Structures are given as C-alpha cells and as structure tokens.
Structure 1
Amino acid sequence: MVDLREISDLFTNGKAVCHTVQLGPGVAGFVYKSRKGVYHIFVSEDLSPEGRRHIIFHEINHILKDMPVIPYVIGVDMQRYSIEKSAERFAREVGLVYFVGSG
C-alpha cells in the first residue's frame, strides 16, 4: 500500500528536491543522495508532464526502498533488474492513487 504522507514528507521537510534538466538520449531520470543527506531527483525535460511524474515516483521508490539498503546503484538500461521492476510497479501504483485521490 502506498503511503502518500511518506512521499509528501520527503519534499515538505527538504529531504528530496526535484530538478528538471536536459539529460542524454535514453536517460529519463536518476536520483542521488548529497553529502548533506538530501536526495536530488533529476528528470528529463523532454518528457511529458505525465512522464516526469512517473519518473519522479519511480525514483521515490529507490529513495524509500532501495537506497537505505544499497547506497548507490549505477546503471543504464537496467529494466531487467528486480529493483527497477519494483520501482516501475511502485510508480504505476502511486500514479493510480494520485489520480484517483485527486479526482
């Protein structure tokens, strides 16, 4: 079950910041944790608003579930890895909750 309060807490308490930037071809987004403990989510400006939102939710899953256990993961074209599949499921689930809850 998705807890939207946990997601909201990341941003309202300054634990996470989103940046819309120009990224290379094939890169939709990524996240890293700064030395100050702030998660920076970078999302491609070439995506639609819905695409950006999906990527943000995908990266939030990495923040909440993966990064506390695995401090960093570097990879491109990692769709076949279980953490990426989990992040995609989470992004779809949050997207559904987001749209149903806002309607």
Structure 2
Amino acid sequence: VRYYGHAVCDSDGRAKEVMLLFELCSGGHLLHLLDRSKGVLGEERIVSVLAELCTAVKVLHAHSPPIQHRDLKVENVLLGSDGHFKLCDFGSWNDECSSTGTMNKQQVAALQEQ
C-alpha cells in the first residue's frame, strides 16, 4: 500500500496520536473478495494474488535491515483501485517506530476531520 505521510500529535496532553495517510484501496480486503465469490477463486486469480504478495514480501525483505511483516492474513491484503493486491498491516506498533511527521497542517486537519 502506497504511503503518503504521517503526523504525530498530542491528543490529550498525555498520549500521542499517530495519523497515517495511505492510498485508498477501494476494493476492500481479500476476505471481502472471498465472501463475494463464496470462497471460490479461479486458479489464475489465486496465482495472481500470491505472486503479488510474494513480490511485496520480497520488497520488505530487501530493506536494510530487512522488514518482517509477521502478520500475513486475508485481512491484510487489500485490492487497490488499479486492480492490484497490496499488502498492509493494521496492527499496533510501539513508539520505537515513530519519526518526525511529513505532512503539512492542512493534511493533518483533513485526517482529523475523517
């Protein structure tokens, strides 16, 4: 999933709130696709999904140091508006991962309105 930026904001003076801005994957996650197709996907479609996931994992592992996804499941595979499957993870992370924000004030305000 394409990452556009993030911001770290004080939400109540004690805790920090992290907002992430990613591309919209309007096709939902792979579980939605499986539900719509009653759990049946053709061989070509299955191979296509797996090939795109393997490519995504390969890109993660090519980083230095390598990035481990550690939570591959149908809910973390999104279908983009371009028809390609994207790997994401909506799990939690800790503050060791935080860095300075890259979004401007207007972008942060737009996220807060949603």
Q: Which has the higher helix share?
A: 1
Fold conserved (TM > 0.5)?
no
TM-score by length of 2: 0.29
Which of 1 and 2 has higher RCO (CA within 8 Å, sep 6+)? 2
Tell which structure's C-alpha radius of gyration is larger.
2
TM-score by length of 1: 0.32
